[in-house]
Structure 1
Amino acid sequence: MQLDFLDTTVIKTLDFFRNQKNLTPIRTENFRFPLVLGSGNAIETGKILFRKNPALFASESDAPDKIGLSEIQEIVVISASGSKHAPILIDLAHEHKKVAHLISSTPNSEASGKADHSYIFPKISEPYTYNTSTYFGYIYGSESQNYSLENVKNYLQNLEKNLENFDFSRFSSFFVVIPNEFALLKNMIETKFIELFGRKVARDVATFEQIKHAMTVIPDDNELFVVFGNEKNQQFGKNQLDLPIFDRENYGPMMLGAYFTVGKIQRALPNYFMENIAQYCENSEYSISPLVVA
């Protein structure tokens, strides 16, 4: 089975949503002090969606400690598949007499059948773990009035020009620096490195403020700093690639730009993900496939 590299999935995601009409935005201001739940990058997406609202956040691991709090009035479960822990969390919410909402990309899932309200977004077929069209869809649904996807397409084309002649294969470790305004993308980018490279490639992600805290004490000739939005021309290491950003307000374009760049790194290095994802799926306790079909 031929799977796409991450940068290709980013472009397909953007083209897909350019043709989507009447996406229902998630009006986070209408939720009453929710507990937002999710696994991996799902909960990180939740933090982005609800960043301007009073809310608590938890993963499936610490949800039982928070879901019964009297201050919590509603539960929001974010799960692209609507399976695995999602139906369990919704059942737990109902046990505590809480209203349960689901944000997902899979209609007719087990979780959607249990939730009091479901927000189902469209998606494309993409490799397992990528979750690019899914999480971007939720973020774009809350930002769509702020920018044109045609302009985002132009941004990615400009970004590609900055990357097309760069040889990422010369490096074995990467430090991605992002603007302070996008601090909540830090874990999402780190997770993408872990999924694609495991421990074969060293990586760090930090904002311009975070990197000030002794994160560059030890230099490494094999390390590349990938710096987005470097307006002050700061130099963090011997090897540095400065890249443009779309703007300093909207998370969706920054997510796509970062994922697109990680996809270019994926192309340049040994293909660890493609070599191992089928076996990973076969060994999983869940019924999963290397390709998640829309």
Structure 2
Amino acid sequence: MERLPLSKKTIVKKRGNNTMTLNLIDLDECVIRALDLFAKKQPPTISSPYKKPLVLGSGNAAVTGRIIFNNTPAVFADESTFEATYASAKDVDGCILISASGGKHAPLLAKRIKELGLPVTLFTNNPQAPARTIADTTLVFPKNPEPYTYNTSTYLGMILGKTREDPTSISQELARIKPTLPDFSAYNAFVILVPDKFDAVRELFLTKFDELFGPVINGRVFTEDQVKHAKTVVPSDKELFIGLGVENTLWGTHRYNTQLPKNAGPGTAMAIGYYIIGHIQKSHPPYFKDNIEAYTQKISRVFGETITPIVD
């Protein structure tokens, strides 16, 4: 049975402990669908309307902002640090607020930024984003329906809007990598090593391990220099080291290396890393699919809005 394109949810079976398994796509399939979308519908080109913006977002939105506006005069913050960051920064002339949904924290952040006297430009994937009514300008990016938290087409589209990396070429890389992937079911711990220049992308991978596996599978991600600092003191025969654009011949007993294309940008690194994590996901029990229904019910109460396992 084909997994749903996620316009609605389907309960496929009942499991123990009052959990339900949803018939959702895995993360690797989500990457493929996102690249197919962008091959047909290019994301809008990103440029900053401000000379020195405060780039603001929550979670992976904040990381996406750092990727997009790397090597610019921008200052970066999240929902916990933006007030202190703005107070200590000089010559900030506007705010770029990044939020896939434009909901949850985004309206509160937009309102507060306006109170501080800054114009707000919203980057979102939701044409009806609640924060859009507060922002001065809004740039809407295309996306696919996806499981809650995957945020693959959302933030990948924004990154490609800046880097203009070719989604078709990235898809070809995924096809090249697929037959080389090891049996991930043999491991319960993973370390992904990335080139130093992709330190921000590294954070995206860490978040995906948290979201998909929680405490059940240990996922760590380091740059090729970070791993040199006491990250491998305690070994495990069930740990796999994955070199993504890093030829690892030293760390760990079990290793899998795959090269990145020459001149690969952050969008390519993100897509390939998510694709590999998706194959780890499908090689293990459906921890995410068993628990996302209950989680979205709980987080809906936290934010005071309806959040579903599938984001249209």
Pair in the same fold by TM > 0.5: yes
List per-residue Cα deviations over 1:133-183 (Å, max 9, x = no partner).
000000000111xx43222111110111211xx211111111110111211
Q: How many pairs are equivalent? A: 286
Indicate the SS of the match to 1:35.
Answer: strand
1:218 aligns with 234
* Letter aligned with residue 16 of structure 1: L
List per-residue Cα deviations over 1:220-276 (Å, max 9, x = no partner).
111110111234x52211111111213344111110000000000000111100000
Indicate the SS of the match to 2:24.
Answer: coil
User: Unpaired runs of 5+ in structure 1?
Assistant: none
1:201 aligns with 217
Q: Give identity over the alignment, percent.
A: 37
Match of 2:177 among 144, 159, 179: 159
Deviation at 1:32, TM superposition (A): 1.8
Runs of 4+ in 1 over 6 A off after TM superposition: none
Deviation at 1:70, TM superposition (A): 5.0
List per-residue Cα deviations over 1:99-124 (Å, max 9, x = no partner).
11111000121111111111110100
Contact conserved, 1:79 with 1:104, CA < 8 A, in 2? yes
Match of 1:228 among 244, 269, 272: 244
Is 2:162 the partner of 1:142?
A: yes
Is 2:14 the partner of 1:14?
A: no
2:119 aligns with 99
- Relative to the length of structure 2, the TM-score reads 0.88
1:63 aligns with 82
Indicate the SS of the match to 1:184.
Answer: helix
* Letter aligned with residue 92 of structure 1: R
* Cα RMSD (Å): 1.4
- Relative to the length of structure 1, the TM-score reads 0.93
2:20 aligns with none
2:132 aligns with 112
2:311 aligns with 292
Deviation at 1:31, TM superposition (A): 2.3
* Letter aligned with residue 11 of structure 1: I
For 1:211 and 1:31, locate their aligned partners in 2 and report how far apart those are by CA, in whole Å: 37
Indicate the SS of the match to 1:71.
Answer: coil
* Letter aligned with residue 254 of structure 1: A
1:85 aligns with 105
More off after superposition, 56-65 vs 174-183: 56-65
For 2:189 and 2:130, locate their aligned partners in 1 and report how far apart those are by CA, in whole Å: 40
For 1:24 and 1:149, locate their aligned partners in 2 and report how far apart those are by CA, in whole Å: 14
User: Unpaired runs of 5+ in structure 2?
Assistant: 1-9, 11-22
1:73 aligns with 93
List per-residue Cα deviations over 1:35-88 (Å, max 9, x = no partner).
111111000000000111012111111223234455322111100000111111
Indicate the SS of the match to 1:46.
Answer: helix
